Amino acid sequence: MKGERHMEKQAALLSVADLTVAFGGLTVVKGISFELHPREIIGIVGESGSGKSIACRAVAGLLPSSAVATGRVMLEGRDLMRLDETQWQQVRGRDLGMIFQNPASHLDPLRQIGRQVAAPLIRHQHLGRRDAQERAVELLADVGIRQPEMRVKSYPHEFSGGMKQRAMIAAAIGCGPKLLIADEPTTALDVTVQARILKLLKDLNQRHGLAVILISHDLGVIADICSRVVVMRQGEIVEQGPTGQVVGDPQHAYTKLLIDSQPSRRASRGWRVETKSAETSPFLAVEKLSVSFPVKRGLVAGLLNRGEATFLALDKADIRVAQGETVGIVGESGSGKSTLARAITRLNQPSGGAVKLGGEDVLGLAGEGLTRFRRRVQMVFQNPYDSLNPRLTVAEAIAEPIWRHGLASRREAAKQADDLLEMVELPHALRDRKPRQLSGGQCQRVGLARALALRPEMLIADEITSALDVTTQAQILDLLTRLKQERDLTLLYISHDLAVVSAFCQRVYVFKAGRIVESGAAQQVLTEPQHDYTRELVGAVMHLAPSSQKKGLEPDHAVG
């Protein structure tokens, strides 16, 4: 918006020309070209698996060794493709920050978050250890991590999905780079935090002239902060131009489809299937469920202090879900949503409370009973990449539960796996790939397909569409709706996407800091929120306006 005025006059900050990336014989980025001017924020949107992440990695010179990139990438007149490692070191982190799509695996499991955030500061800004640590605390506070003084000492495995993502962002912006490549930086964030991050980026953009390449599936977000947008599909750029123009008057058919699939534009797609209320016959009942984690301290502290400090991640949560119902869980990042899901599926040991499925106590199950329960209740993990065994191919991973549970022979299971792949909109060609060879959205769908393979009665879906473009997202939601109708599938749907939740779920629970702060019929809660936090949440949502003739985008609220 403001940037638009300058951009013609200035030389491009980054210019990508004819960039092609191939894995062996498979070309995944096909000669794309675009430019980015100083102080500009551009968005990249596109189909899942269209090569957005790979293209950005190519720009930063961080492709896996099996990839071959050709073309030209110029940053401030330097040809990045020609840099040697020492030159790259000067560029990366200082001139060019990178936020990876999958924050979990990109954090060093052995080092405290604070140190990882501080590392680039020490390296590029030559801060002292202590100063850098202080700065890291500030940065974590900037990205909305509560109690940052304490959290700098946490390790990645103690962070929630969204918190890891924010830590990654903090590390990337720490040195004030000229260019930030942000690969879906807000997928795991609730809207308030998302708004906060976006505001942070905008601030940096305005005050320090940070240029950003933002990959996102959320056109609302793109529309909010990007001056230009690039639309990708199947490794090619199908359309690019000023945001207003592309969103308001899409030229390419795919762009049109994309914009029309925006949840806010198709609220009445008929996803909601009414069922009996939870009060009469709860299928799943979570009663006063609490989960706490030990707080790990340094060795010296550990040596001296015998007592155990704990952190209450979930505090007496009560949840009821009726058969066939779709219940949404929304809430702050780090508020215990995933913890709840894990506790229900017996992956966490609750410190108190009960979980009942069809009246049966879940927490007491063992052996055969537990196996039966697992078949009935399936969960899709928030972090799709890490939840796939790196050694198994897509087809193996999906087929395994089928034949393991004796639902079909191995051969039959392989066939079913192919069907499932199709159901989740994954091309057949991916069946022999390993997780490392998939895009974020593709992994996510593999996780979903695997969970569905057992034909569970209940599905706990932890952010299953966050990495999907809206078109694919819509297809997945269609699929779930169909399953609900056909199989009476019960869904616990954890999501940050309020639009989807309100369109898709019957009831919703709102989480904050380990507690349920509000619950009720989804539409009601999300249109007339009662609790302050819910209000804040709802207020922070950005959408594309229903019709977008002129500029087409405006947040419901100014982000404060």
Partner 1 sequence: MGHLQAILQRLLQLIPVLLGITIVAFLLLHLAPGDPARLLAGDRASAETIAAIRHQYGLDLPLWRQFLTYMGNLLQGDIGQSLRFQRPVVELIGQFMWPTLFLVSYVVVLSVPPTLILAITSARKPGGLADQIIRLIGVAGLTIPVFWLGIMMSRFFGVALGWFPVSGYGEGFLDHLHHLFLPALSTAIWFIPVLTQSLRAALIDKATADFATAAKAQGASQRDIFWSTVLPNAVLPTLNLLGVLVAFIIGGTIIVEMVYAVPGLGTLMIKSLLGRDYYVVQGLTLVFAVATVLITLAVDVLTAIIDPRVKL
Partner 2 sequence: MAVISLGNDAKVRRGRQLPWTMIMAIAILGAWILLAAGASLVAPYDPDAVDIMNMMASPNAQHWFGTDQVGRDVFSRVIYAARVDLFMCVAGVVPPLMIGATIGLLSGYFGGFVDGFFMRLYDITAAFPFFVLVLAIVGVLGPGLTNYFISLALVGWVTYARLVRAEVLTIRDSEYVQAARSLGYATRIILLRHVLPNAFGPVIAYAVSDAVLVMLAGASLGFLGMGAQPPLAEWGVMISDGQPFVQQAWWICFFPGIAAITLGLGLAFLGDGLAQIRRRQVAQ
Ligand X SMILES: Nc1ncnc2c1ncn2[C@@H]1O[C@H](COP(=O)(O)OP(=O)(O)OP(=O)(O)O)[C@@H](O)[C@H]1O
What does the binding site for partner 1 look like in residue numbers (CB under 8 A)?
60, 62, 64-65, 85-86, 88-94, 97-98, 100, 102, 105-111, 119-120, 123-124, 155, 157-158, 168, 171-172, 296, 299, 302-308
> In Å, what is the CA distance from 97 to each residue of 39, 61, 74, 168, 316?
14, 12, 15, 10, 40
Q: Which of residues 408-427 bind partner 2 (CB under 8 A)?
A: 425, 427
Q: Where would I find the H helices in 488-530?
A: 498-504, 522-527
Tell me the three state secondary structure of residue 251: coil
Tell me the three state secondary structure of residue 245: helix
Q: State yes or no: residue 88 binds ligand X (CB under 6 A).
A: no
Q: State yes or no: residue 170 binds partner 2 (CB under 8 A).
A: no
Binding pattern to ligand X, positions 28-67, x when CB under 6 A?
x-----------------x-xxxxxxx---------x-x-
Give the shortest CB-440-to-Mg ion separation in angstroms. 4
Q: State yes or no: residue 482 binds partner 2 (CB under 8 A).
A: no
111 binds, among Mg ion, ligand X, partner 1, none (CB under 5 to 8 A by kind): partner 1
Angle at 68 (CA atoms; ends 63, 72), nearest 5 degrees: 85
Q: State yes or no: residue 395 binds partner 2 (CB under 8 A).
A: no
Selected from 375, 415, 531, 551, the binder of partner 2 by CB under 8 A is: 375
Q: State yes or no: residue 23 binds partner 2 (CB under 8 A).
A: yes
The Cα 332–Cα 188 span in angstroms is 10
Nearer to partner 1, 183 or 425 (CB): 183
Nearer to ligand X, 50 or 490 (CB): 50
Q: Which of residues 154-183 bind ligand X (CB under 6 A)?
A: 157-163
Whose structure tokens read 């040596």?
Answer: 303
The Cα 319–Cα 494 span in angstroms is 13
459 touches 388 (CB < 8 A): no
Q: Which of residues 82-111 bind partner 2 (CB under 8 A)?
A: 104, 109
Q: Total binding residues for partner 2 by CB under 8 A?
A: 53
Selected from 235, 250, 435, 440, the binder of Mg ion by CB under 5 A is: 440
Q: State yes or no: residue 512 binds ligand X (CB under 6 A).
A: no
Angle at 233 (CA atoms; ends 232, 238), nearest 5 degrees: 60
Kindly report the number of other CB atoms within 10 A of residue 358's CB atom: 15
Ramachandran region, residue 409 (left: φ > 0; alpha: ψ -120 to 50; beta: rest): beta
The Cα 315–Cα 470 span in angstroms is 34
The Cα 334–Cα 154 span in angstroms is 13
Tell me the three state secondary structure of residue 45: strand
Tell me the three state secondary structure of residue 115: helix
* Helix then strand then coil, % of the chain, to nearest 5: 40, 25, 35
Q: State yes or no: residue 253 binds partner 2 (CB under 8 A).
A: no
Q: State yes or no: residue 46 binds Mg ion (CB under 5 A).
A: no
282 binds, among partner 1, partner 2, ligand X, none (CB under 5 to 8 A by kind): none
Give the shortest CB-382-to-ligand X separation in angstroms. 5
Instruction: Note the residues at the interface with partner 2 (CB under 8 A).
Output: 22-28, 47, 49, 64, 66, 104, 109, 157, 234-235, 342, 345-347, 370-375, 378-379, 381, 383, 386-391, 400-401, 404-405, 425, 427-430, 432, 434, 436-437, 447, 450-451, 454
Instruction: Note the residues at the interface with ligand X (CB under 6 A).
Output: 23, 26, 28, 46, 48-54, 64, 66, 101, 157-163, 188, 293, 311, 313, 333-339, 382, 436-442, 467
